[in-house]
Amino acid sequence: MTRRERGPSAANQGEPLAVRVGLILVALAYLLLFLMMPLLAVFTEALRKGWAAYVHAVSEPMAWSALKLTLITAGVAVPLNLVFGVAAAWAVAKFDFPGKNVLVSLIDLPFAVSPVISGLVFILIFGRTGYLGPWMQAHGFKVVFALPGLVLATVFVTFPFVARELIPVMQAAGREEEEAARVLGASGFTIFRRVTLPSVKWGMLFGVILCNARAMGEFGAVSVVSGHIRGKTNTLPLHVEILYGEYNYQAAFAAASLLAFLALVTLVAKSLVEWRSGRRQEGAS
């Protein structure tokens, strides 16, 4: 590595070798300490009692149901936020209307509010003594302490990801292509499907990946509305927390390793998308 650093590009930067190596070491140490070590720790702890214990911990019914619930919640929340995000970004980037700035600020709201508060708000609305709670109970809907509540909380928390990712991409693309399509006789939906969407598909995919990562890992809001009913309303992060609270470290880390694994898959997908879209942009310029 050091040999490479002495290459022609490093030579003309004029910094002494010691400074360069020092800075790189600091950066590497930081990465190691705050990113790599925790990740390694998760897998080491998970496998501390051997492979059999690990397999048992991740295949016991409670872990399975938590994993399933996490995937279902993300599976519902992400498509919902994809539809919403695309619609919002399209509206914000391509049209002028009164209240546009308010909408943009509203999209960011979940970033600004603590997830726990968002969870509490849903309890306040749908809970047993909440605004809509009694009516819902009378009509047999169960939101809080059930799957709909988990989905709602997740949707709320992961709401901005797709829209935030798409708005700048769509704004950068401008409105001229859409106008051109309109003059050529295309209907609104055709323009959206054949002109707007293809030009932002990589940005969209990127937003979906980020949204999904957050949806699967969400703890705060989900924790409040879940009620922690094991095997029923426990998502993977909640499951980890319960196991940890019971001093069952090995099982907790085993479950956490599943989450870490999902995160790694997401990261790889994200890098692939970045690499693809980066290559496309190079080709376009």
Site string for another protein, 196-235 (x = CB under 8 A): --xx------------------------------------
Give the Å distances, CA to CA, from 281 to 30, 85, 191, 196: 32, 23, 22, 16
Query: Least distance (Å) from another protein to the CB of residue 187?
Result: 7
Query: Least distance (Å) from another protein to the CB of residue 185?
Result: 5
Q: Which two tokens stand for residue 193?
A: 């499907």
Q: Which is nearer to another protein, 204 or 254 (CB)?
A: 204
Residue 246 interacts with another protein (CB under 8 A): yes or no: no
Binder among 20, 49, 94, 182 for another protein (CB under 8 A):
182
Distant-in-sequence, close-in-space partners of 3: CB < 8 Å, separation ≥ 6: none
Q: Which among 112, 119, 109, 117 is positioned nearest to 238, based on CA atoms?
A: 119
- Options 1-9, 76-84, 128-136, 185-193: segment touching another protein (CB under 8 A): 185-193
Residue 171 interacts with another protein (CB under 8 A): yes or no: no
Residue 170 interacts with another protein (CB under 8 A): yes or no: no
Residue identified by tokens 């909408």 is: 103
Q: Which is nearer to another protein, 52 or 284 (CB)?
A: 284
Question: What are the φ and ψ backbone dihedral angles of 258, each rounded to 5 degrees?
Answer: -60, -45
Cβ-contact 147, 154 below 8 angstroms: no
CA dihedral 214, 216, 222, 226 (to 10 degrees): 170
Residue 181 interacts with another protein (CB under 8 A): yes or no: yes
- Residues near another protein (CB under 8 A) are 176-177, 179-187, 190, 194-195, 198-199, 283-285
